[in-house]
Chain A
Amino acid sequence: MEAVRSQRSFASPDVVLPTLPFYRSAPALEVRLEDFELYAIDRLRVLKGISDGLSRGKKPDEMEKSVNELWKSHMRHPQASEVVNKDIISHFVLRLVYCRTEELRRWFLSMETTLFRYRFLFETPEAQRALMAEFHIPYKIVSSGEYENVKDKLVQVARSLGQSLSGADSVFYKVPFEEVPELVACRRVFIQKGHAYVAMSQVVSLVVTQFRSLLSKALVLTNRKWTSMIREQEKDRLTPIVESLSSSYLGPDYSQPKELTDVSLKDIDQVARSSFPLCMHYLFEKLKEDHHLKHGGRMQLGLFLKGVGLKLDDALAFWKAEFSRKVGAERFDKEYAYGIRHNYGKEGKRTDYTPYSCQKIISSTPGVGDHHGCPYRHFSEENLRAALGKMGVGNRALEDVIDKVRHRHYQLACTLTFEAVHNTSCDAGINHPNQYFNDSRKVLESRNNSDGA
């Protein structure tokens, strides 16, 4: 077997690889084709597990545990010396798989960064410091004089996070706030005149930001290399593996409706009642009630309807029928029709947009006047109970759903709802509103057929 990607740069031989690599350059290793694929699939299982955890809204400590378990169960290797190689090889294979579209890159970047974050946290403080040095993180520790000046504020921030600031925690790095966006976003740092005061326990954010930006750039470069040479050079060997890897595991993206589910305008009310998941059914009802939805709602419902099989012309007619009652037909044509054509790839960038997945919907942040988002996550318990009751979820099932919600298993709650409404089991779970819809149609269709027979 020859070295895969022998055309790439070689890492210099005297570099000792740390347990947590930065994946700066592709490894100079010989890889058997079977391993190439198997390693990648193992890593994909880890990333998929992370993705599921995030979409369930797991808290950081739960994520930490789950990432640790995922890594241990999938990324081990009988030969100790191979463990690091497996890590590096699988990462670079998946880079090839996930470099090819914006959407794939975004998913991969997000999952790999999350993985990196938790693996960094597993390291000992010494190893963490070594990693920081290797990343050339140039920030200085706040001097004791300066520390005294801002101590009150730092104590206040620590208290707001439910922590106390003991003497041992008085090591702070002062960094431009741009370097720690996630700490800024959650108000987990004190910020003054453009500088964030980052506690030693938060430095992971600094490292993660660096990691993310390196990987983001690398993915764009890999994409260029892929389209300009690798795909062609490897067309008999790696290309088929790479292409099958992304499609075999990711599941469908529901951007192209299945023939089975073609829906026309006249059926839509009936179909909405029988087969829409709560998030969509609720938006649909609100639209009928208010004859209006704000942007987030239009996107969430509009793309879902596209995935359901509503043709562009029907979609325009559907939205117009509602909106024109509130804003008039003329304003609809001027202000809203563009957005609908845009969703169908007929305007602007002309991208054929994909319907939102559960993960995206759960992590959205609806504000005043918004009706989108995941009802299991964003409704108060009282409102959720009322909504489920209206859908016909019986008392016992309802308590089970609420129980899942309390544990922040929103997709499981949706799955239970599906099972209660359709009186059937749904072993695969619900990952996508369009999957809910398709599965529902399948169940109802087979029931109709057997009734007719």
Chain B
Amino acid sequence: MPREDVENGREDMLIDGSEAKQQKQKNAVPDVFNAHYLKVYYGKLFPHADMFRWLSYANDGRHPGCDDSYFGRREFSFTLDNDIYLRFQSFKTAAELESSIREKVPFKIDIGPVYSVDPSKRHAYAQSGDNVFTPVERELIFDIDISDYDDVRFCCSGADVCLDCWPLMTIAIKVIDTALRDDFGFSHILWVYSGRRGVHCWVCDGKARRLNNEQRAAIADYFRVYKGNENSQKKVSLVGPALHPFLVRSYTEVLKKFFEEKLLSSQNLFSDAIKYETILEMIPEESITSELRGRWADSRSTKDVNVVRWEQLKHQLQSGKQKGQGLRRCVEEIVFSFTYPRLDMEVSKHMNHLLKAPFCIHPKTGRVCVPIDPNHCEEFDPTTVPTLSQLLEELNAEGSRMEVDNEWDKTSLGESIRYFRSSFLQPLLRSCKEEIESSYSAKIQQSKNTLAW
């Protein structure tokens, strides 16, 4: 037996594990979330080293241009079992981070900004009176919650999701990811399933991390189309004689297709009067809405009623006799209302917002916050994301092996960690190293020049 005696609690698991194959039915790990399972997860599966490498951004001491204090100025915050909330945790090394996580077994790990000084010592600095404790770097982050779409999805509400409404998240990933890359020129972008009802996005380019709050707000506003609050009639208002190229691209490449091919039918948007009335309300022309209402009163149809009625509505609005720009725009407004991403703006606007770390376990669902590959986001299925208990079962089924380093490799977490490393971490660290190298040589050059004076 390898190291099971090093830590208490592990022994039981491995004993279970060696018999797991025969007793799988009987000894299956109950499908609940608890601190004991979490302890095993942090002990054997959580990719501590990868998290450290990510958040160090190549400041690993291997290059004279490295900033050795960088990782130590990052805020972590832990939510513990009994809802004790520990903010402003900081760690100097990978080992410190790992041992603290293993020891405290946080139900949730949040990642905050990199501050000007070590956040755990902020009080000492505060004595000096000058306002030196301030965030200096932070990934550009986005948080999209499906509960914000409750007025346009009819399969679930609140924190629930299913495969009928999840495409809304797929749309969000596609629209935002493309714009972040093509418009803003970012390339190191990590999408993560938030464990229950949405997705998180981390933009990690050096340029993104150094944006100030005003620039963050500008990007968030660039993405904002949805302006309605609970008391305004139209949720989306597309003004002006034409749409911005970003909106045109989003509409033609993503929104229209998803609306017509998926949501229209899966959400039954035109199936009954209550639903189609909310859509008709978005059309300001009385004569058109009453005509459509008349046609729809008779619901006999062999084809999908949603598709038929949508085509009729489009035909009415776009036919030659409608001269007003505004009426043609209605079709787009309806599609935008039902599909366009809805961001939690506040999260993106400020450097000091905390966001849950990837690979945490959501305490309510037990699911791992796994990365999502934006290139294959249509294939992502939130209902098959590995759960804590499933991972432990898989671990047990494998039984005890000699090597303990890459235990995740044998579980269904393996694929996620491999993706994280090969598609996100490696390219990121490569460009961070280049950045460190070039700013270092620039500095050397500069000091040479000053000497030459």
Contacts and interface: CB of A to CB of B under 8 A. Distances in A.
A65 interface: no
Interface string A137-177: 00000000000000001001101111000000000000001
Contact of A380 (B148, B149, B224, B232): B232
Contacts of B342: 367-368
Nearest to A296: B346
Interface in B215-232: 215, 217-219, 221-222, 224, 226-232
B83 interface: yes
A186 interface: yes
Given A194-B207, A295-B346, A369-B148, A187 B232 contact: no
Interface stretch (A37-45, A353-361, A370-378): A370-378
A380 B214 contact: no
Contacts of B346: 295
B423 interface: no
Contact of B184 (A190, A191, A365, A375): A191
A187 B227 CA distance: 15
Contacts of B241: 159-160, 162
A369 B230 contact: yes
Contact of A378 (B149, B231, B246): B231
Contact of B227 (A177, A365, A384): A365
Given A184-B221, A192-B183, A195-B185, A160 B244 contact: yes
A161 B218 contact: no
A206 to B, nearest CB: 14
Contacts of A367: 148, 226-229, 342, 345
A367 B229 CA distance: 5
A373 B229 contact: yes
Nearest to A379: B231
A16 interface: no
A156 B215 contact: no
A157 B245 contact: yes
A156 B244 contact: yes
Interface in B189-221: 207, 211, 214-215, 217-219, 221
A368 B342 CA distance: 9
A382 B233 contact: yes
A424 to B, nearest CB: 28
B366 to A, nearest CB: 20
Nearest to A159: B242
B12 interface: no
Nearest to B224: A365
A185 interface: yes
A390 interface: no
Nearest to A154: B245
Contacts of B185: 192-195
A224 B186 CA distance: 37
Interface string B234-275: 010000111111111000000000000000000000000000
Interface in B333-371: 342, 345-346
B72 to A, nearest CB: 22
B151 interface: yes
B222 A187 contact: yes
A334 B108 CA distance: 15
B403 interface: no
B182 interface: yes
A366 interface: yes
Contact of B240 (A153, A161, A366): A161
Nearest to B228: A368
A160 B346 CA distance: 27
Contact of B242 (A156, A178, A186, A380): A156
A220 B64 CA distance: 33
B246 A187 contact: yes
Contacts of A378: 229, 231-232
B229 A371 contact: yes
A365 B211 CA distance: 22
Contacts of B229: 366-368, 370-371, 373, 378
Given A178-B215, A367-B345, A160 B242 contact: yes
Given A185-B222, A370-B229, A380-B233, A192 B182 contact: yes
A383 interface: yes
Contacts of B243: 156, 160
Contacts of B226: 367-368
Contacts of B186: 194
A162 B240 contact: yes
B182 to A, nearest CB: 7
A383 B240 CA distance: 25
B228 A191 contact: no
Nearest to A386: B231
A182 interface: yes
B244 A187 contact: yes
B371 to A, nearest CB: 24
B345 A193 contact: no
A313 B207 CA distance: 45
Contact of B345 (A159, A195, A365): A365
Interface of B: 83, 130, 148-151, 182-186, 207, 211, 214-215, 217-219, 221-222, 224, 226-233, 235, 240-248, 342, 345-346
Given A156-B243, A194-B185, 6 more contacts: A178-B215, A187-B222, A334-B83, A368-B226, A370-B229, A383-B232
30 contacts: A153-B245, A156-B242, A157-B244, A157-B245, A159-B241, A160-B241, A160-B243, A160-B244, A177-B184, A178-B215, A181-B217, A184-B215, A185-B218, A185-B221, A193-B182, A194-B185, A195-B185, A224-B130, A366-B230, A367-B345, A368-B149, A368-B150, A368-B235, A369-B148, A371-B231, A378-B232, A380-B231, A382-B233, A383-B232, A384-B231
In order of increasing CB-CB distance, the 4 nearest A-B pairs are A194-B185, A181-B218, A185-B221, A159-B242
